[in-house]
Amino acid sequence: MNPPVRTAWIDVTTAGGTMDAWLALPPAGRGPGLLLLQEIFGVNEHIRTVAEQYALAGFSVLAPDVFWRQSRRVELGYEGEDRQRGIALAGALQPAQGIADLQAAVAALRERPEVGGARVGAIGYCMGGRLAYTAAAVAGVDAAVAYYGGGIHTQLALAAQIRCPMLFHYAGHDDHIPPEAVEAVRQAFAGRPAEIQVYPGSQHGFNCWARASYHAPSAALALGRSLAFLAGQLF
């Protein structure tokens, strides 16, 4: 029996060259597009599995290799030297190149025959949460979900450029994102089509089952909310 989700690495053309991206297609063979944006650990096994998770829900998922200019298809663990390498790779990203890559990835997703002119959303985790927020501002997505997006509160000038609905997920206790940062985001989006959810008892990275901070109740609740939000906005 063939697996219900078809997956493959594909090439995405950007202004700076060819970027790798992981594609996961739904069982029906077509569906709205969803740009999946990685943590600092690359398009690793966890991110590829998340792509399949959302593809099973009916989305055509594309996870671009954000670090491709530095090192292709980086796949890192969550502690020690791997973590330090991820931090270094993230720190070396050039904002203008990153924006161009987001725009190229969204354009490539919209052009996929499996998307067929349907809507396209973005979802991301940690660094990818901030990139999903950026994609909402500069890449023309129709909806975005940001899980514990570090640094969003320092880039609130972009909020005025966001026209699509957004969903933010934050941990109840996050050593990287203090409560005042969450409150700054809440205030910036007051009166806007945005939801901000905070999960008591959870820590940064609560969605990732491969991390020590995984918190199943919060991950399940956030997944349900994300699916309901994306289904309402993209289907």
pLDDT at res. 19: 98
Dmax over CA atoms of the chain, in Å, equals 51
**Is residue 1 assigned to a domain?**
no
- pLDDT cut 70: percent of the chain above it: 100
Query: Nearest-CA neighbor of 159 among 178, 187, 183?
Result: 187
Band (3; pLDDT cuts 50, 70, 90): confident
The burial of 215, by beta-carbon neighbours within 10 Å (0-12 exposed, 13-18 middle, 19 or more buried), is given as: buried
Q: How far apart are CA 30 and CA 33, in angstroms?
A: 9
pLDDT grade, residue 186 (50/70/90)? very high
Q: Which helix H or strand E contains 166, and what residues bound it?
A: strand 166-173
Q: Give the CATH number, domain containing residue 75.
A: 3.40.50.1820
pLDDT of residue 46: 98
pLDDT in tens, 124-178: 999 999 999 999 999 999 999 999 999 999 999 999 999 999 999 999 999 999 9
Please indicate, yes or no, if residue 112 is contained in any of the structural domains: yes
Domain count, the chain: 1
Contact between 25 and 6 under an 8 Å Cβ cutoff? The reply is yes
- If you search the block for the tokens 């991206």, which residue do you land on? 21
pLDDT digits (tens, 9 = 90+) for 210-231: 999 999 999 999 999 999 999 9
Cα-based distances in Å from 226 to 65, 72, 137, 193, 195: 22, 29, 19, 15, 11
pLDDT at 119: 98
* pLDDT number for residue 153: 96
What is the model's pLDDT at position 2?
83
Residue 226 · residue 232 · CB < 8 Å:
no
Q: How many CB atoms lie within 10 A of CB 143?
A: 24
Q: What is the pLDDT of residues 33-60, one digit of tens each?
A: 999 999 999 999 999 999 999 999 999 9
CA 9-12-18 angle, 5° bins: 100
Range of the domain at 212: 6-234
Strands 6-14 and 17-25: antiparallel
Instruction: Give the model confidence (pLDDT) of 68-97 as tens digits.
Output: 999 999 999 999 999 999 999 999 999 999
- Is pLDDT above 80 for 112? yes
pLDDT (0 to 100) of residue 14: 96
How many angstroms separate the CA atoms of 163 and 82, rounded?
37
Residue 1 pLDDT exceeds 90: no
Amino acid at the residue 104: A
